[in-house]
Structures are given as C-alpha cells and as structure tokens.
Amino acid sequence: MTLALAEAEAAFARGEVPIGAVVVLDGEVIGRGGNRTRELNDPTAHAEILAIRAATNAKASERIPGADLYVTLEPCPMCAAAISFARIRRLYFGASDPKGGAVENGVRFYQSPTCHHSPDVYSGFAETESAAMLRTFFRERR
Amino acid sequence: MTLALAEAEAAFARGEVPIGAVVVLDGEVIGRGGNRTRELNDPTAHAEILAIRAATNAKASERIPGADLYVTLEPCPMCAAAISFARIRRLYFGASDPKGGAVENGVRFYQSPTCHHSPDVYSGFAETESAAMLRTFFRERR
C-alpha cells in the first residue's frame, strides 16, 4: 500500500485526482499506476485500470489469477469489474468512497449475480492518508 | 449500428468475442472498436472501451458530451461506467445481456445514486444479428 500511496502522490503532482494502484504477484510488483485521465484524455485511465493493463501485459495474459491489487480508494464500477475480469485474487483498498465506490458502496458489484469472479476484499489500509490526500486535492482545486 | 456490427464481425474473425462499438459526434464517427481482450492481453479491451478511448483521444478531452455510442451488446459494469465518465449523451445497444449486462440487467448502474451522469438508453437495435453472432461464436468454441 506504500507503493500505491506513492503512485497517488505522483498523480497529485501531475494535477490528477490522487489515486494510486499496484498489482503484486508472488511478492513481485507486476503493474502500477496513478490516475492519468487528464494527461491521456482518457476517462478510463484510472489507477487500477492502468495497473491492471500493465500487469496483464507483463504476464502476456488477460487473466492474472493469484495477483493482488492494492489501491488507495474504493474502486468505482469500471475498476471493480476490470478487477473481476482480470481474476484478481485479493483487493486491498484504502479509503471508502460512498459517492462513487462499487464494492462496499453503490452497486456493490461483487455481490451481484452478474459478477462471475469476486476477489477477497480487505479495506481500510492507509485510509487516513489516502482520504487526506484526496481532501487536500479537491480543496486546492476549489 | 451497421458499423458496430461490422466491428463485431471483425472481432469474430480475429477469434475474439464478437462485440463492436462506434462513437458518433455530430454525424461523424470519432471512435470505433471491436473486442481485443485476447490479442492485447487486456481484460479492459472491450469494444466500448476501445471506441471511447479512440473518441476521447480524437477530441483531446476526457469528456465528449453530445457524443452517442452504438454497441452490439448491453454494456457490462466496466463499460457502463466508462460511458458515464465520458459523458456520452445517448447509448444505443443491440442484444440484452442478462448474464453480464449492467444497464437493464444486473446492477443497473445508471439507476444508482453513485452514477453521476446517465446517458439516454435505447435498446434492441439489430438485436437478432448481434445475438446470433454471439451464439455462433460460443457454439463454435465448444
């Protein structure tokens, strides 16, 4: 989660919403990313999506069972579904996102019958730091 | 929708799940794509995601309000959320997807309070052709 926080800090420095993600397989980082939606003009360039795409590319497979994903904020429906499609084993996230989350909030995708693979979910890691960074970012933008 | 079907046919020919999508703005096609999850080793490379990324890239903006998306199958949660984030105006889709859809089935994302932009949704376009192509694909794979 320390690496995910570093990715979030780097996103902040680039003027992007500060969220970071890391994918780990067998103790090795195989993908990492921070938000780049503005830089790339790409609404899908969330931290999790970039980290997953890097990881599946590194493993030359669209599925990476056994891999774990660490992300500083609760995933949105787009990222929650991508995590499912990639067959991520465990999801560790930081702050909860009542406004946009899709794991413990909103549509709770992993509890839907249309979800065909659910990761084990662990939340609250580095929650304070993750949430503080987001608050600072949005306060500065106002 | 004819162009989306052509993208689905091209995906079929590449050995990918035959789904195609097209983004149109002011009568002009600004993005198109067919499934490439296998070819790209990318679980996020759904037709809609590739079409949206092409469109937002073409317009140099992460949001393309006023643009409409045509896709041969009901979007999954990943794509439904990406459509929302891109501020797509109208969503036209072909076949309904009770197993994996997130618009009229499953989590019905656009009806969630965590969805902050919903496109107008029109369904059933070229439903028969879209569904037949998918059935043929999965029958041949068995």
Over residues B5-32, the mean pLDDT reads 98
The confidence score (pLDDT) of residue A57 equals 98
Query: Which of A30, A78, A103 has the highest number of chain B CBs within 10 A, making it the mutation to test binding with B?
Result: A78
ipTM here? 0.97
pLDDT at B141 over 90: no
> Considering chain A, what is the average pLDDT of its residues?
97
**pLDDT tens readout for residues B120-133:** 999 999 999 999 99
Sheet holding A90-95: strands in order across? A28-34, A20-25, A68-73, A90-95, A120-123
Please indicate if the annotation marks B79 as binding a ligand.
yes
For A37, name the nearest residue in chain B, comparing CA atoms only: B62
Q: Which of A100, A52, A65 is nearest to B113 (CA)?
A: A100
Q: Can A7 be counted among the known catalytic residues?
A: no
pLDDT at B142 over 90: no
Residue A142: pLDDT over 90? no
**Contacts with A112 from chain B: Cβ below 8 Å:** 106-107
Dihedrals phi, psi of A78, to nearest 5 degrees:
-60, -50
pLDDT given at position A129: 96
- Summarize pLDDT for B24-75 with one digit per residue, the tens: 999 999 999 999 999 999 999 999 999 999 999 999 999 999 999 999 999 9
Give the pLDDT confidence score for residue A39 in this predicted structure. 97
List, as one string, the DSSP characters of A6-62. HHHHHHHHTTS---EEEEEETTEEEEEEE--TTTTT-TT--HHHHHHHHHHHHTTSS
